[in-house]
Structure 1
C-alpha cells in the first residue's frame, strides 16, 4: 500500500464555508495576538490561539489521509488513538497549537462518544467543512467496523459448541474483566479531580461510590446520573441545602418504593428499549448508548449489557464479554463492540445472516450518530455549552457518577468471567458440573496475571498481546 501524497496548504480543492470560518476565526485570533499582545486573547486564555496551519484538502484526499494515517493504525484503545492523532496533526504537522488541542480535547472528554473519532471529525471540519468532518470520521471508523463484521461472522461460523473455540474465549473472559477493571481505575483518576487544582474532589468520589451502591439497590442508573449531575451543580454554587435535600430524598424515595412495591427487580436497571433484537430496537439501543456514553466506550458497555443481557435476555453474558474482547484488539474505538452485539442478537433471532449483517450495521449507526451530530454541529457551539458554568458542573457530577456505573459492570464481568457458565450447570450431569467448577481456579489466576500485566505494561499493544496469549492458554487450560 502506498503512502498518501504529501500535504501542503496550497492544495487546489476549496474548503467549505464551515472550514473557512474556522480558519478565518483562527487567523483573526492569531493576528490579534501578534499585533497587540497587551489586549490579546492570550491575556485571558494563554496559548489557545490556532496555528492557522490547517491544509485545504479535497474530500477524496481528506478521506484517504484519515483512513491511512489513523483508521488503519488505531490499535491499542482510546489512549493510543488520541496520542497518534495528537502526534501527527499537532506535534508533527502543526495543524493547530498544542494548547488549542488541549481545549478541544477537553470538550470531547465531557461530551458522549469516542474522543478519537470526534477529534478526527473536528480536524476534518477544519480542513474541508462539515462534509470533510463526516468523511474523516467515517475513514477513522471504517477499518475497525469492517474487521468487526468479519470477526462477528467468523465467530458465528465457528459455532458455539466447538470445544477449541470455546476454550480460547473462556480464557479471554477473565482477561476482559481485568481490562475493564483497569479502565475503571484509569477513568476515575481523571474524572474525580477538580479542573482548577487537579486534586481529588471528595464529592465526585462520593457520587461514584453512591452510584455503585444504587446499582446494588437496583436504582436505575439513569436516575443516579441525572441526580448527581444536578446535585454537583448545586454544590459548585455552594447551594448546600438543596444539594443535601436532593441527596437525602433519593434514599427516602427508594425506601418508600420498597415499602409499597418491594425491592426493585434486576430488570429495573434497564429502560426496556430493546426487549427483542429487532432492527428498530437495535438502532434505538445504539442511539441511547451512544448519547449517554460519557467517558467513552466503557460507559456504553453497561447500557448495552443491561438491555441486551439483563432485560432482553437475547444475548448470553459470555457472548457479550467475547464481543468486548474482540473490540479490544481491533484498530477501532471500543464502542465497535456494539457491531458484534447487533450481529449476534439479530442472528439469534431467526438465524439469517442477512438480518445479522443488517443488525450490525444499524446498531453501529445508532451508536456513532450522536458523536457525529455533536461534532459536526460546530465546535464553537459545543465549547460555549460546555463552558457554561451550570452545564459544566452538571457534566462534572455526571462524569463522577459514571465511575460507579463502570464499576458495576466491571464487577459483573469479573464475576461472569471467572465463574464462567457455572450457573448453567445445575441441571447438567455431575461430570460436567465438576468440570465447570474446576475451571474457576485457572480463570481466577488468568484474571490476576492479566490485571498485573495491565498495571505493569502500558504499551498500546499490551491488550493485543494479552488476548493472543490468553487464546493460546485456553487450549491448554480448558480443553479436556
Structure 2
C-alpha cells in the first residue's frame, strides 16, 4: 500500500510555466496528504490505479466538472491545476499523488492547456473517452461563453466609445508586463537540465539564436525544428553534426540574402490566414493549438504574426485587448483566440451578417485551438507517455521548448513597444492636435508598464493579475480620457 512517507517520483520535465503565466505550477507533496489505496506497480508507476475513480453518468460528469472547476477557473492555469489536484487527488483520492505527478509531467510536454487536459484525463477514467470529452467541454464552457459575451460587448462599445477605449489603453502596457513576466517564468524552467536543475548553456543558445533569427526574419518553424534537432544531436554527443547544422542555418541565410534579398516581415508567418474566413480561422486555431508548448503564451506570437502582421485583418490594439480580456476570465488563456476570431470576422464583414459571422468565427477558431489537446488526451495517455518518454523525442522537445523562449521574448518586446506607443502611427496621419495627444499618452503608458512589472515580481498571489487588470481599467479613466 502506498503511504505518504514513500518517495514520490519528481516531475521529470520541469520546463514550462503556465499561462498566468506558465506551465509549471508548484505542485508539492505534503507528508500528510493521503494516497489512494491500490499499490501501483513500480514499473508502471500506478497507471492502472483507478480503484477510487467514481463511475459517473455523462450528465453528472458534465455538472461535476462544470461546477467544481469550470466556474472557478480564476487566477490562471497555476490556480486551475492546484484546484484540480486538491479536489480530485487530495480530497476525493481518485488517483495516487504519484500517478498525478506522472500524468502532469506528460501533459507538460504536449501542446495545449494542462488544466483542460487534466480534466479530460479524469473524465476518461470516470466514463471513458466520451467522458473525457464531456469533462473537457465542461471545464472550458464557462470561459468560452464569457469570452463570447465580452467579444460582443467590445464590438458594441470598444471601437468608438472613449471611456471603453481609455480603459483598454491602460490595460495594454499591463498585459505587456504580464507577458514579459511570463516569459521569465517559462524560461526559468525551459533552459534547465533535468538531472541537476542547472542552466543548460545550449538551451540558452537556442533561445538567444531563435530571437536573433526572428530579427533576421527567419521563419519561426525553421528555428523551432532546427534547434529541436540541434539539441537532440548534442544530447547524443554528436557535436560535429550539431556544429555543422548550427553553421548551416546562417550560411543558408546569407546565400538567401545574396540572391533574393532580406526576407520581408511576413516571412515569419505561414500565410494560413490571409483573410478571416471561417476555414482560415479554424486552421489558424488548429496550428496555434498544435504549437502551444509552454501554454497559450506560445500560441500568442503565432496568432499575432498571422492575424496582425501578415493578414493585417486585426489591429494590434484589438489583439492586445484580446489578451487582456483572456487574463481576467475563468478560463484557459487560449480563449483569447475566441476574441480574435470574433473581432476578425466582425471587422471583415461590415454588412448585416457581420454579427452572425463574428459568432461563427469565434466558434471555429476555438474548436481549432482546443482540438489538438482533445485529440492528444483522448487518444490514450499510456501511448502518449511511451512516446514522450522516448529519449530521442524528449531531447527534441527540450530543444524546441528552449527555442520557444526566444520566440516569446521577441513577441513580448514587440507587444511592449506597441502597447506603450499606442496608436502613434495612426495619429501621425491625423491633425497635429491628435498626434500630440497620442504622443502624450506614451509617458503614462510607460509608467503603468513599470508599475505592473514591479507588482508582478513583488506579489505572486494567483489573483495579482486579475487585480492589476481591474486597477488598470479604472486608472485608464483618469489617464486617457480627454
Q: Which residue of 2 aligns with 1:235?
A: 234
Q: Does 1:86 align with 2:68?
A: no
Aligned-residue offset at 1:56: 1.1
Tell me, yes or no, if the aligned pair for 1:48 and 1:97 is still in contact at 8 Å: no
Aligned-residue offset at 1:49: 7.3
User: Structure 2 vs 1, CA of residues 49 and 458 (structure 1 numbering), >3 Å: closer, same or farther?
Assistant: farther
Q: Which residue of 2 aligns with 1:280?
A: 279
Q: Which residue of 1 aligns with 2:408?
A: 406
Q: Which residue of 2 aligns with 1:448?
A: 450
Tell me, yes or no, if the aligned pair for 1:49 and 1:100 is still in contact at 8 Å: no
Aligned-residue offset at 1:159: 4.1
Moved more, 338-347 or 417-426: 417-426
- Aligned residue for 1:88, secondary structure, equals helix
Deviations 1:449-469 (A, max 9, x none): 111111111112111111111
Separation (CA, whole Å) in 2 of partners of 1:332 and 1:189:
24
Separation (CA, whole Å) in 2 of partners of 1:427 and 1:140:
46
Q: Which residue of 2 aligns with 1:196?
A: 195
Q: Which residue of 2 aligns with 1:472?
A: 474
Q: Which residue of 1 aligns with 2:301?
A: 302
Q: Does 1:208 align with 2:207?
A: yes
Q: Does 1:112 align with 2:103?
A: no
Q: Which residue of 2 aligns with 1:263?
A: 262
Tell me, yes or no, if the aligned pair for 1:171 and 1:443 is still in contact at 8 Å: yes
2:369 alignment partner, one of 364, 367, 370: 367
Deviations 1:52-76 (A, max 9, x none): 3211111111111100010000011
Q: Which residue of 1 aligns with 2:422?
A: 420
- Aligned residue for 2:55, secondary structure, equals coil
Separation (CA, whole Å) in 1 of partners of 2:333 and 2:269:
22
Tell me, yes or no, if the aligned pair for 2:39 and 2:46 is still in contact at 8 Å: no
Separation (CA, whole Å) in 2 of partners of 1:115 and 1:229:
22
Q: Which residue of 1 aligns with 2:381?
A: 379
Q: Which residue of 1 aligns with 2:436?
A: 434
User: Structure 2 vs 1, CA of residues 191 and 127 (structure 1 numbering), >3 Å: closer, same or farther?
Assistant: same
Aligned-residue offset at 1:50: 3.3
Aligned-residue offset at 1:146: 0.1
Question: How do residues 67-82 of structure 1 correspond to structure 2 at under 5 angstroms?
Answer: 67-82=66-81
Deviations 1:326-348 (A, max 9, x none): 00000000000000000000001
Deviations 1:125-184 (A, max 9, x none): 011100000000000000000000000000001141211111100000000000000110
The alignment of Structure 1 onto Structure 2 pairs a total of residues equal to: 444
Q: Which residue of 2 aligns with 1:350?
A: 349
- Aligned residue for 2:422, secondary structure, equals helix
Aligned-residue offset at 1:51: 6.2
Aligned-residue offset at 1:80: 1.0
User: Structure 2 vs 1, CA of residues 350 and 46 (structure 1 numbering), >3 Å: closer, same or farther?
Assistant: closer
Tell me, yes or no, if the aligned pair for 2:288 and 2:302 is still in contact at 8 Å: yes
Deviations 1:280-301 (A, max 9, x none): 0000000000011111100000
Tell me, yes or no, if the aligned pair for 1:224 and 1:401 is still in contact at 8 Å: yes
Aligned-residue offset at 1:192: 1.1
Structure 2: stretches of 5+ with no match in the other structure: 1-35
Aligned-residue offset at 1:30: 8.1
The normalised TM-score by structure 1 is 0.90
Q: Which residue of 1 aligns with 2:9?
A: none
User: Structure 2 vs 1, CA of residues 45 and 456 (structure 1 numbering), >3 Å: closer, same or farther?
Assistant: farther
User: Structure 2 vs 1, CA of residues 116 and 32 (structure 1 numbering), >3 Å: closer, same or farther?
Assistant: closer
Tell me, yes or no, if the aligned pair for 2:58 and 2:127 is still in contact at 8 Å: yes
Moved over 4 A (4+): 29-33, 44-49
Q: Which residue of 1 aligns with 2:141?
A: 142
Aligned-residue offset at 1:196: 1.9
Tell me, yes or no, if the aligned pair for 1:48 and 1:99 is still in contact at 8 Å: no
Separation (CA, whole Å) in 2 of partners of 1:256 and 1:84:
53
Moved more, 271-280 or 97-106: 97-106
Q: Which residue of 1 aligns with 2:332?
A: 333
Question: How do residues 244-263 of structure 1 correspond to structure 2 at under 5 angstroms?
Answer: 244-263=243-262
- Aligned residue for 1:425, secondary structure, equals helix
Separation (CA, whole Å) in 2 of partners of 1:145 and 1:474:
26
Aligned-residue offset at 1:112: 0.5
Normalized per residue, the structure richer in helix is 1
Structure 1: stretches of 5+ with no match in the other structure: 1-28, 34-40
Deviations 1:167-223 (A, max 9, x none): 100000000000000110111111111222222111111111111111111000110
Separation (CA, whole Å) in 2 of partners of 1:130 and 1:372:
10
